[in-house]
Amino acid sequence: MFERLRTDILPGLVPRHAKIMVAVSGGPDSMALAHILWRYMREDPAREISLVITHVHHGARKESDQEVKLVQQMAESWKVPCRIHRFDAKGYAKATGQSFQEAAREWRYARWQEDMCEEGCTHLATAHHLGDQAETILYRLLRGSGTAGLAGIYPSKDSIIRPLLTFTKADIFQYCEQEKLPYAIDASNEQPVYVRNRIRLQLIPTLERDYNPRLQEVLGRMGELLRWDEDYLVQQMETAWNLFFLKGQDQSVGLKGEVFKEPAAILSRLLRRAAMLVNQERRGLGYTYVTKIMASQGKPGWKQDLPGLSVRITEEGIWFSKPQKREACAGGSLVADTAKPSCLDIPLVLGSQHKISGLGVEVALLTEEDVASSAAALDGPGYAVAVFSKDFLARTQGSLVCRTRREGDKIWFQGVGHKSLKKVFQEAKIPAAERSRYLLIASGNEVLWIPGLCRSGLCQAEPNSPKAFCVIKPQTGHYNLNSL
């Protein structure tokens, strides 16, 4: 197994000088992954690879303390830095079953991305294997999915790498045994209470026994074929997007009428993308609504109210907008109209406010106490507000700034991963000349908020955890409020 990883897989996933954050739960998969990456790092120091281990303590289970110990001991003996997070299960108490699992999963990814940002890591490595791939594909198939969903887990996407994705659980157990690696067994994984657990523990073994003993391999291959297709289709859609996009007022997004002549594969993706920009839903638009809109054939006058979305077709094209008008100015994007805005780089410290001279804007980073003591702290004409996790800000203290864009800026979205700021601006059709006039809040090149445009999935405040409020207040009329 290590031999195949060393020669065929890792060279393609891990470039020289990579600093890899390895997510280690303490189970066999992630212990094996950490060990493999550690061997790979030490085997040839000329590669100049370094590791950081990150672990999430799931208070929900009693074995959690043992797992933390296991991971910390390993990291210590290897002299690799190790970060521990505690998942606030109480905060997610309302969510049950699958949605709890999903919430916990999304929470972990957000923490890892924050860790990467703080540690300056280039990659995040997770221990997904072929069984996870098969489970994911079947899970999506059973819930209904198109090519994108059935494409399964990517072995490498954005900065996340999954070196074990083509190996089976049996391969991993064998590796642990060979290398005498200790590991913990997460008992909750063995209980068929969650849908995904049932797929793994009951459905896959049944299908292997009754239909195809090589089911996991077959699903893994199917995933790869569909990733090829999906990647190409998305690329073709992007080209078409630039041809058909219309920027509307009031946060509405339009596509030129000729879009209805596009083949269904492209048209359906364009409609989903446009809807997604307005309703902020990951899928954008379900199958039923996509087919409904396609059946309209683009006839001017057609309109339909969908959940969270209002769609209408005019002579110019098809328009997606929010069903209710949002309040006048709140959350409008802030565009600096002074000269040389690129000099702007204002450090933000909790509890203070900064006037940005020449911009007529004041930026404040307020605590809950600040907000509680003044009713007007967050509420004024044209104010833009984002709520951040105070803990995260505390860890990045000193690196949070209000500035304009720089080369290499990126922003992370839940379920999407990192996007370059360039891409975000492109998709919002903001002319290149205007882009450097947008204010943004960032830590390093990790952008957390572009007021009025979009918000990163990182540094989000969780229920019942300390919050910090970033407020941007207009002081004069000397700036523009644009709507996406």
Q: Which residues bind a second copy (CB under 8 A)?
A: 141-147, 150, 195, 198-199, 202-203, 206-207, 210-212, 215, 218-219, 221-222, 224-226, 228-229, 231-233, 235-236, 263-266, 268, 287
- Nearer residue to a second copy within complex by CB, 141 or 481: 141
- Nearer residue to a second copy within complex by CB, 289 or 319: 289
- Nearer residue to a second copy within complex by CB, 103 or 219: 219
Determine contact, residues 266/240, Cβ cutoff 8 Å: yes
- Nearer residue to a second copy within complex by CB, 231 or 434: 231
To a second copy, the closest distance from the beta carbon of 207 in angstroms equals: 7
To a second copy, the closest distance from the beta carbon of 217 in angstroms equals: 8
Determine contact, residues 454/427, Cβ cutoff 8 Å: no
Q: Alpha-carbon torsion 203, 207, 213, 217, what sign? A: negative
- Nearer residue to a second copy within complex by CB, 256 or 283: 283
β pairing state of 446-450 and 440-443 = antiparallel
To a second copy, the closest distance from the beta carbon of 232 in angstroms equals: 4
To a second copy, the closest distance from the beta carbon of 150 in angstroms equals: 7
Q: How far apart are CA 449 and CA 466, in angstroms?
A: 19
What the block records as the tokens of 38 is 């550690």
To a second copy, the closest distance from the beta carbon of 222 in angstroms equals: 6
Q: How far apart are CA 27 and CA 78, in angstroms?
A: 18
To a second copy, the closest distance from the beta carbon of 156 in angstroms equals: 14
Closest of 278, 156, 160, 172 to residue 224, by C-alpha: 156
Helix, strand and coil in the chain, % to nearest 5: 45, 20, 35
To a second copy, the closest distance from the beta carbon of 199 in angstroms equals: 8
What the block records as the tokens of 198 is 């049932």
To a second copy, the closest distance from the beta carbon of 231 in angstroms equals: 7
To a second copy, the closest distance from the beta carbon of 223 in angstroms equals: 10
Tokens 């204010």 — which residue? Answer: 439
Determine contact, residues 440/450, Cβ cutoff 8 Å: yes
- Identify residue 55 by its one-letter amino acid code: H
- Nearer residue to a second copy within complex by CB, 66 or 202: 202
- Nearer residue to a second copy within complex by CB, 171 or 229: 229
Q: How far apart are CA 205 and CA 254, in angstroms?
A: 47
To a second copy, the closest distance from the beta carbon of 33 in angstroms equals: 24
Closest of 310, 299, 215, 202 to residue 253, by C-alpha: 310
Q: How far apart are CA 366 and CA 350, in angstroms?
A: 6
What the block records as the tokens of 73 is 């001991």
Q: How far apart are CA 6 and CA 41, in angstroms?
A: 10
- Nearer residue to a second copy within complex by CB, 260 or 479: 260
- DSSP state at residue 169: H
- Nearer residue to a second copy within complex by CB, 217 or 391: 217
- Nearer residue to a second copy within complex by CB, 147 or 188: 147
Residues in a beta bridge with 56: 85
Q: How far apart are CA 297 and CA 299, in angstroms?
A: 6
Tokens 């098969």 — which residue? Answer: 134
